[in-house]
Amino acid sequence: MAANRRLRMKNKQLLSFLQEMDTLESAGYPRHVWDMEQYPTPPDLASELLINLELVERAIEGRTVVDLGCGSGILGLGCLLLGAERVTAIDIDPNCVKLTQSNANDLGISSDQLSVIQYDIKTIDTDQFDRADTVIMNPPFGTKDQEGIDRIFVEKGLGMATNVYSLHKSSTVAYWRKAAANELHCNINIISEIQFPIERLIKLSVSEMWVIGRRKRIVLVTVTASIIGLFLAICLFTPSTTTDTHFISGGNGNLPNPDIDHLPTQNLTVYTCSRPSSSSTIIKHDLKQIKGIFRHYVPKSFDPKYKNYCWRSQLKLSALPHTVPDLRHYYESHQLADYQVNELIQKAGGAVDGINGDTLTCIPSVFMAGFPKSGSTYIYKLLSQHPSVSPGKVKEPHFWTSFPFQNKNNYNKLAVLTYLANFKHASNCSSTDSDCVTIDASQSLIWNTRYTISDCTLPRVFRELFPNAKFIINMREPTSRTYSDFHSFSLNDCSQFFKSVLLSEVFDRKMKSETGHFSSCLQSHSLHYCTQESINYPAKVFKDCGEVRLGSSVYVSHVKRWLAFFPRDQFLFLRLDDIINDLYGTMKEIWSFLGVRVLSQEEFAELKKRVIRKPKEYNSMKDSTRQLLDDFFRPFNEELAETLGDNKFIWK
């Protein structure tokens, strides 16, 4: 759990030290030994990598670290600058050993903190070393005369430490997944995707040459040892291209997608993507399938003159019925027979290959993405009264978070069509006002990963489909939000049953149990993993009744995940406290964020009369329960405040 982390030095400070370190070339040694595939780790990449590992994984400060294939010592010495207890740096090249020691001397690092050893990794006996906390390495790729050398580095690393962080080419991810499961007996999580600069180092053959300046994609992977007797070890690759998964700019992940190879790789924030334990009762969505089905009707680019995402199509969305409040029901398999599904698809028409039609079709570019019970309904109703805001037929279609994929492709096509039909009025509004804004206010978007293979699937999909999307995030003091959320589920799911039950007592007992389970999970898993486990398998107060979604109130886990894919300025974070205490000021902030006209106080006063707020009342929470949850959420709130740079999110 990385709560309120304060590093010994910031990224810029660490970078300045690393940039002053000598390389083989600047120190006067032969620049590279070709057979060893010595690819120096650039200072900016090393600094960012180490900062991220400490912030997310707590892998450095106070830890014992081994730097395998240390080169100039940039990674190992960087760990010492960030507070590692001791580092052992190992390299086969005697010049690298001398260079690392020289750089250490220049930094004022003593021999009590650092051991530099010349050793061939292929023959090293890991038993002669005290087991370390962390191995960090940039091993050879094994593309010249050392095929399989990267595998040896990983094996030796797992024999030396509980956590192994290693750089590998993204093209080898599929191999590593198989090797981890079948031979290495470990788990692999992708951490992030980076661009690794490779200069012209070696000539492979007459027809194969690495060109100066070409950048090879690298993968930072996490290998978690599950060998009997070993503690969970984490080995880090950076996502690039494979099947569904965890991409994040500067955070942890689990597996990339080949179709999203061109995504930007700038680091935005740090996040560890997770793939919580699976359940046979939950359909998991495939990233490629989501994107492919959506692209059947929605183009890759939109008309820039509209604020909404708009394009000209041949779609006839009026052919779809609008009688069910929640349009999701139309594409669920038990609602419609095959022939009915096919008829609706044929009536709607307008696949993307017929994109140059006459009908202006629009979908939202703004997503009010969470969190429930934080004032979103009231704000959405107020926004809908603005002349340049067009609401969808359904406030929360939950298309992205509960898309029930079927084996039959036509059900999936109809799912997309019903989502587009929900925002038919957006097209009408945009046709008369190009500044018109439509909002998908599905409150599950930011936190609900129950139907996706990993918790990074959706932000990654959004990053490709809607790179300029804006997000409004409503938050509420998490203890109160959790209690309100519990009441909502309890009263909706089993109100008759609870008539004779004092809900505050039930909630108290359940929170004692759930906070205990969550804390136990954190002993062996990351915060993000435990958060998703809590959401994917919410505790029932009683059988089939009264869900307790503790993880959905751990805001920082969800916020960091999305900030890893989108810049901070594409988000507006709101607190219910501010909505209550300064409603007009909050609305001005939202209108400005959306780029629509800011209404005067007089205009807003008239608008407000058309919206009725209906706060719900229920029994007060027990003081002991509130104290328990306040203590539980405090470190997560502090980390959220640090992430957003605003202490009001501590909710003191």
Domain membership flag for residue 617: yes
Domain membership flag for residue 373: no
* CA 203/CA 191 separation, integer angstroms: 31
Residues 485 and 534: beta-carbon distance below 8 Å: no
pLDDT at 479: 96
pLDDT at 66: 94
Domain membership flag for residue 586: yes
* CA 591/CA 579 separation, integer angstroms: 14
Domain membership flag for residue 441: no
Q: Cα dist. 182→49, 175, 226 in Å?
A: 29, 11, 12
Rg (C-alpha) for the chain, rounded Å, is: 27
pLDDT tens by residue, 49-91? 888 788 767 789 888 999 999 999 999 999 999 999 999 999 9
Q: Which of 216, 235, 260 is the last residue of a domain?
A: 260
pLDDT at 161: 82
Any idea what the CATH number is for the domain that residue 58 is in? 3.40.50.150
Q: Which of 229, 260, 291 is the last residue of a domain?
A: 260
* CA 274/CA 254 separation, integer angstroms: 7
Residues 440 and 368: beta-carbon distance below 8 Å: yes
How many domains are there within the chain? 2
DSSP assignment string, 5-20: ---SS-HHHHHHHHHT
pLDDT at 542: 56
Domain membership flag for residue 465: no
DSSP E strands, 279-358: 309-313
Domain membership flag for residue 53: yes
Domain membership flag for residue 414: no
Residue 496 sits in which domain range?
475-650
Q: Is the dihedral of CA 458, 463, 531, 46 positive or negative?
A: positive
Q: Which of 228, 260, 292 is the last residue of a domain?
A: 260
pLDDT at 287: 61
Collapsing DSSP to helix, strand or coil, 541 comes out as strand
From first CA to last CA, the distance across the chain in angstroms is 21
Amino acid at 435: D
pLDDT at 339: 63
Domain membership flag for residue 269: no
Residues in the chain with pLDDT < 70? 1-8, 31-38, 56, 142-146, 170-171, 189-289, 319, 321-341, 350-357, 403-411, 453-455, 489-502, 537-546
pLDDT at 491: 59
